[in-house]
Structure 1
Amino acid sequence: MNAPVDLLITGFGPFPGMPRNPSAALARRLGTSVRLRLVLGGGLRVQVLETTYAAIDAQLAPALAEGPGAVLMLGVASRAARMRVEARAANRASRLYPDAAGRLASRLALDPDGPAQRRSRVAVQALAILRRHGLAVRPSRDAGRYLCNASYFRALAQACPVLFVHIPPRSRTARPRSRTRPWRGRRDPAAQAAALAEVALLLVARARGSSRRTTGPT
């Protein structure tokens, strides 16, 4: 029998220049996925974070403290034309860009005692899944220096599979698979949600595999 795994999906609320953050809508859409509900039962939670540094301690940290088995994080990249699968988060912040509350990061290092960076172990597989769904996506090693990177760095400290995916501000994430198999309907949020649901199942499968290795046969 598969071990139960709780999945946490996060998105972000509005911030300066982005009054309607599509990552929040996409996170909520994933939360209604019949496929994910069937696999996880009641172990699916969606958290839309305020785009503030204070929200990392006030909202994200308590959600992580509940011990999710896997975490899928979504954010919007304002200038991106394609999805980006983030392979790592850096222990750094920018003091140039205020958050939605008008506040700057309190320091340049997110965690003065932490490592220079933290990496996700599922980025390569997730990239392949999104490409297989016909979405325009690229790998990324730089999650920026804003709230997306800061929240990702915090979540990657968890002992569970974690992944952050940036989405474009508009529905420009699809490309034709080939000239003989033209793209159909791959630009809409439903297509993004279907592909990301499969990524979420990858995280869950990794979490279950880790649990089996830890506990051994029963």
Structure 2
Amino acid sequence: MSGHLLVTGFGPFPRVPVNPSEIVARRLAAHPRLRRLLGDPPRLLVLRTAYDAIEESLVPALAQGPAAILMFGVATRARRVRVEMRAINRASRLFPDACGRVATRLSLEADGPSQRRSTVSIKVLTRLRGRDASCSLSRDAGRYLCNASYYRALREDCPVLFVHIPPLSQNSIRMTRLIEGAVEVADELMRETRRSACRKTRR
């Protein structure tokens, strides 16, 4: 395991010409405080909002062995930040991706489990709420690319978390608070990685 943090966001898609999840991911990956906390700079991946981007871009990034993965996506109808605790093995054939394609089947993985759950501690919500008190836990990451990418990332043997954000102006106070909260979450994810490594060493 190389020890780096992988931060992901999404590019534009129909009706969302500027995706705030990309802005959050980019600002977080370049955040000087996070770089000081981690020692090694995070690695950034902005995914095309297309189903084939999972195999083309996400899977190779996962193959580099991140120590933790923090993913962002936008929920266009949401009013608050949602910390997603699971992804399900389900896709929608109703909503086309940015390339105009829909999922080819209803299940994401033919032989995969019905759901995959994040093992991340509830502490991440506490630390995020320190910056945005309105954030909440969620068990429904949708049926679109956010859920599909999260489901795939949760196969990895490391802490993985997906955060859905509402539509936010890139210059808003709330955007600034969210990024500061994301620094706290990223730090907690890497702490969990270190705690897990210590437990394995003691066995």
TM bracket, shorter-chain basis: over 0.9
Q: Report whether the alignment pairs 1:208 with 2:194.
A: yes
Query: Are 2:132 and 2:178, in contact at CA under 8 Å, matched by a contact in 1?
Result: no
Q: Which moved more, 1:68-77 or 1:124-133?
A: 124-133
Distance 1:134 1:102, change over 3 A: closer
Q: Secondary structure at the match of 2:103?
A: coil
Q: Distance between the aligned counterparts of 1:193 and 1:70, measured in 2?
A: 17
Distance 1:99 1:203, change over 3 A: same
Q: Report whether the alignment pairs 1:35 with 2:33.
A: yes
Distance 1:132 1:192, change over 3 A: same
Q: Distance between the aligned counterparts of 2:122 and 2:201, measured in 1?
A: 26
Deviation at 1:43, TM superposition (A): 4.4
The aligned counterpart of 1:98 is: 96
Q: Secondary structure at the match of 1:215?
A: helix
Alignment of 1:48-197 (within 5 A): 48-122=46-120, 124-170=122-168, 187-197=173-183
Q: Distance between the aligned counterparts of 2:132 and 2:144, measured in 1?
A: 29
Q: Distance between the aligned counterparts of 2:197 and 2:41, measured in 1?
A: 16
Q: Deviations over 1:170-194 (max 9, x none)?
A: 25xxxxxxxxxxxxxx833221111
| Paired residue type of 1:203 | L
What residue ranges of structure 2 are gaps of 5+ in the alignment? none
Q: Secondary structure at the match of 2:12?
A: coil
Query: Are 1:4 and 1:40, in contact at CA under 8 Å, matched by a contact in 2?
Result: no
Q: Distance between the aligned counterparts of 1:91 and 1:38, measured in 2?
A: 37
Of 9, 12, 25, the match for 2:10? 12
Distance 1:132 1:42, change over 3 A: closer
Query: Are 2:132 and 2:177, in contact at CA under 8 Å, matched by a contact in 1?
Result: no
* Runs of 4+ residues over 3 Å off in structure 1: none
Q: Distance between the aligned counterparts of 1:206 and 1:115, measured in 2?
A: 24
Q: Distance between the aligned counterparts of 2:191 and 2:162, measured in 1?
A: 17
Q: Secondary structure at the match of 1:105?
A: coil
Q: Distance between the aligned counterparts of 1:31 and 1:123, measured in 2?
A: 22
The aligned counterpart of 1:199 is: 185
Q: Distance between the aligned counterparts of 1:154 and 1:127, measured in 2?
A: 22
TM-score scaled to structure 2, two decimals?
0.94
TM-score scaled to structure 1, two decimals?
0.88
Q: Deviations over 1:89-119 (max 9, x none)?
A: 0000000000000001111100011100000
Deviation at 1:129, TM superposition (A): 1.5
Higher-Rg structure is 1
Q: Secondary structure at the match of 2:190?
A: helix
Q: Distance between the aligned counterparts of 2:120 and 2:201, measured in 1?
A: 22
RMSD in angstroms over aligned alpha carbons? 1.9
Q: Secondary structure at the match of 2:167?
A: coil
Among the aligned pairs, what percent are the same residue? 55
Query: Are 1:10 and 1:48, in contact at CA under 8 Å, matched by a contact in 2?
Result: yes
Q: How many pairs does the alignment contain?
A: 202
Q: Secondary structure at the match of 2:164?
A: strand
